[in-house]
């Protein structure tokens, strides 16, 4: 398990800002608490994501009772919280809405929102927060979903707490910035985004997953985790169905119910996302990124890449210094 560390209020606020990149994170407003001695003990980690996305994970115990008063700017936030207590959200001059913990929810912020919370001494909470910024997202279809949500600032219950919170230990266990921890974070991000899109497409009634048995959900999550862990493998439907422990037809029918797209489409998107990160961050060539993504032909890779991101792979090459 990751070793516990001690954090002040200001250190957590700074970590939130760093995780959110140029847009900033949760800014603590109450000056009485900004530089005081109140501390939290546990794990707090941010994870680098592609442009327009940020993720922050915390599993912290409050060492002194703390009343939080913070502000968050325009963004779409998917939050999964476990532990005791409530959080208050206020949009503009409207009434403060109370959100109980041990649930997942979507916080759509068009301009700014005020957040309130009271953390008692000895209280432990785990939180995953994924933030999406419409104008920074390369995927325009996803950016459109984010804009639609943020047009009406609100809090929406997200009916997927049990499945998503079960992945918390995968983030916490790896030490430091290990590859396993990064993969776990990306897996959760993909999961949350897929559920977000599925919820929107299903309309006010929400996604129709009630008839999926808990055992089926666990099987489908195994397929998702396998793909995210080793996306370059030469999978076929029979192999993925074997990972799930179900037939091919059942996999094809049930995977979209949980993740909002066919399993082959999910595999393709994960591969292309990993290739883009390799170009932007790891200094790979287009040919190397193509092989990493499991493509045998460069032309096929380039066409699929352009279709997903609207630009050729070469547009994302990390600039190399002149010799």
Determine the pLDDT at residue 169: 64
CA distance 227 to 265: 11
Determine the pLDDT at residue 99: 80
In a domain, 185, yes or no: no
Within the chain, strands assigned E span 5-8, 27-28, 39-47, 53-62, 66-82, 86-91, 97-100, 103-119, 124-132, 154-158
- Residue from 196, 223, 190 nearest 50 by CA: 190
Residues 6+ apart with CB under 8 A from 52: 132, 133, 134, 135, 136, 137, 138, 143
CB contact at 8 A, 202 and 232: no
In a domain, 228, yes or no: yes
Phi-psi region of 86 (alpha: psi -120 to 50; beta: other; left: phi over 0): beta
Compute CA distances 315 → 166, 194, 248, 302, whole Å: 37, 26, 37, 11
CA distance 135 to 124: 35
The residue out of 127, 147, 175 marking a domain boundary is 175
Residues 220 and 156 in one domain: no
Query: Domain total for the chain?
Result: 2
Residues 141 and 13 in one domain: yes
The residue out of 149, 175, 201 marking a domain boundary is 175
Query: What domain range is 253 assigned to?
Result: 214-316
User: Consecutive sets of 10 residues in the chain, 323 residues long: mean pLDDT of each?
Assistant: 72 75 55 60 82 84 84 88 81 81 83 85 87 86 86 78 61 55 77 75 48 77 85 90 94 82 87 83 87 89 88 78 46
* CA-angle at 317, arms to 311 and 322, nearest 5°: 140
Residue with tokens 């082959």: 264
Residues 13 and 152 in one domain: yes
Determine the pLDDT at residue 245: 94
Residues 168 and 219 in one domain: no
Phi–psi pair at 225, nearest 5 degrees: -65, -40
Positive or negative: CA dihedral 218, 222, 224, 225? positive
Residues 226 and 309 in one domain: yes
In a domain, 204, yes or no: no
CB contact at 8 A, 56 and 16: yes
Determine the pLDDT at residue 280: 76
CA distance 204 to 199: 8
Residues 125 and 22 in one domain: yes
In a domain, 194, yes or no: no
In a domain, 255, yes or no: yes
In a domain, 206, yes or no: no
Residues 22 and 109 in one domain: yes
Beta strand 124-132 pairing with 66-82:
antiparallel
pTM for this model (two decimals): 0.61
């Amino acid at each position: 398990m990751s070793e516990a560390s001690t954090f002040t209020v200001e250190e957590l606020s700074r970590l939130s800002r760093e995780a959110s990149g140029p847009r900033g994170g949760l800014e603590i407003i109450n000056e009485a608490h900004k530089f005081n001695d109140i501390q939290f003990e546990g794990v707090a980690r941010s994870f680098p994501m592609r442009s327009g996305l940020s993720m922050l994970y915390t599993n912290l115990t409050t060492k002194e009772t703390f009343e939080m008063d913070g502000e968050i700017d325009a963004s779409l936030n998917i939050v999964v919280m476990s532990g005791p207590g409530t959080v208050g959200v206020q949009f503009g001059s409207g009434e403060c809405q109370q959100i109980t913990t041990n649930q997942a929810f979507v916080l759509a912020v068009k301009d700014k929102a005020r957040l309130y919370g009271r953390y008692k001494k000895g209280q432990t909470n785990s939180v995953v927060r994924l933030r999406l910024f419409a104008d920074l997202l390369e995927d325009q279809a996803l950016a459109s979903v984010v804009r639609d949500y943020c047009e009406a600032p609100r809090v929406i219950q997200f009916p997927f707490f049990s499945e998503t919170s079960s992945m918390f230990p995968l983030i916490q266990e790896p030490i430091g910035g290990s590859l396993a921890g990064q993969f776990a974070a990306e897996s959760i991000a993909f999961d949350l985004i897929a559920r977000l899109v599925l919820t929107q497409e299903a309309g006010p009634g929400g996604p129709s997953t009630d008839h999926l048995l808990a055992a089926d959900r666990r099987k489908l999550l195994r397929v998702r985790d396998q793909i995210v862990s080793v996306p370059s493998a030469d999978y076929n439907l029979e192999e993925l169905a074997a990972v799930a422990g179900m037939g091919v037809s059942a996999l094809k029918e049930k995977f979209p119910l949980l993740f909002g797209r066919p399993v082959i489409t999910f595999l393709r998107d994960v591969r292309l996302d990993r290739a883009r990160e390799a170009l932007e961050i790891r200094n790979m060539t287009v040919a190397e990124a193509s092989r990493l993504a499991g493509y045998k032909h460069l032309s096929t890779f380039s066409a699929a890449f352009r279709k997903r991101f609207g630009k050729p792979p070469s547009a994302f090459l990390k600039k190399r210094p002149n010799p």
